């Protein structure tokens, strides 16, 4: 077996080292390093610039927002006008226009008149650009576009102490921008009016059956 022992590699036409190695075997590449073939590393590799040629699907950044606030409620008054849930928005600035944004969220609370007439949608607002609401096709003048709906944990005669949940495990969005993008969870009522009590039950009495909860939204930038 042949072995090359060195601490730097430089092209004969270059004025600086292209690859350097320290005494622990850590390898450092220059800015904008490109890998055109297969590369296998058993130690730590650092790059001071942008590494390309490694394929897509890399996780570039994660932003999240969670809240345990259980002291409020949202009044709904229009079937076609969902409203923002407080503290359930998050802003991310993609590093490239072709990046994907993976959105996940979890909402806990209780509705005043049963979960079957309430719905959640996901709103995307691009700084200096458009605002888009994600949901099903309207398909008529009266249909309500829905992203997901709250689910009740159990069925109880007293709906005032039965928590409801809505969950999105991963929606892949393509905002096609490097401007700041804000994602917001909204709630609406398919019959027009009602109240959503977030992170709590309708009945807020201090009892074991009056649960408090946690809601969150997380976005992840995925390289194309």
Report whether pLDDT(155) > 60.
no
CA distance 53 to 55: 6
Predicted pLDDT of residue 191:
85
Q: Are 187 and 120 in contact (CB under 8 A)?
A: yes
**All domains in the chain, ordered by first residue:** 6-54 (no CATH), 59-222 (2.60.120)
What is the predicted pLDDT for the residue at 169? 92
Per-residue tokens: 219: 């976005």
Q: Is the pLDDT of residue 126 over 70?
A: yes
Q: What is the mean pLDDT of residues 31-36?
A: 66
Query: What mean pLDDT value characterizes the chain?
Result: 85
| Per-residue pLDDT reduced to its tens digit, 195-210 | 999 999 888 888 887 8
Question: Average pLDDT for residues 13-19, to the nearest whole number?
Answer: 80
For 72-86, what is the mean pLDDT?
Answer: 88
């Amino acid at each position: 077996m042949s072995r090359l022992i060195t601490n730097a590699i430089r092209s004969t036409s270059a004025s600086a080292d292209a690859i350097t190695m320290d005494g622990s075997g850590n390898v450092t590449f220059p800015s904008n390093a490109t890998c055109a073939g297969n590369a296998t590393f058993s130690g730590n590799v650092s790059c001071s610039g942008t590494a390309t040629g490694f394929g897509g699907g890399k996780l570039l950044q994660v932003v999240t927002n969670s809240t345990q606030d259980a002291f409020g409620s949202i009044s709904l008054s229009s079937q076609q006008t969902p409203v923002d849930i407080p503290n359930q928005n998050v802003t991310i600035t993609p590093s490239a226009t072709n990046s994907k944004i993976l959105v996940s969220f979890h909402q806990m609370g209780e509705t005043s008149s049963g979960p079957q007439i309430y719905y959640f949608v996901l709103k995307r607002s691009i700084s200096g650009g458009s605002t888009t609401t994600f949901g099903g096709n309207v398909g008529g003048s009266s249909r309500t576009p829905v992203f997901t709906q709250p689910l009740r944990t159990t069925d109880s005669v007293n709906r005032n102490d039965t928590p409801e949940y809505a969950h999105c495990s991963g929606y892949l969005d393509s905002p096609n921008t490097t401007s700041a993008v804000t994602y917001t969870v909204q709630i609406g009522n398919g019959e027009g009016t009602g109240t959503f009590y977030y992170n709590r039950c309708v009945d807020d009495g201090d009892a074991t059956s009056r649960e408090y909860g946690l809601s969150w939204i997380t976005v992840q930038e995925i390289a194309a």
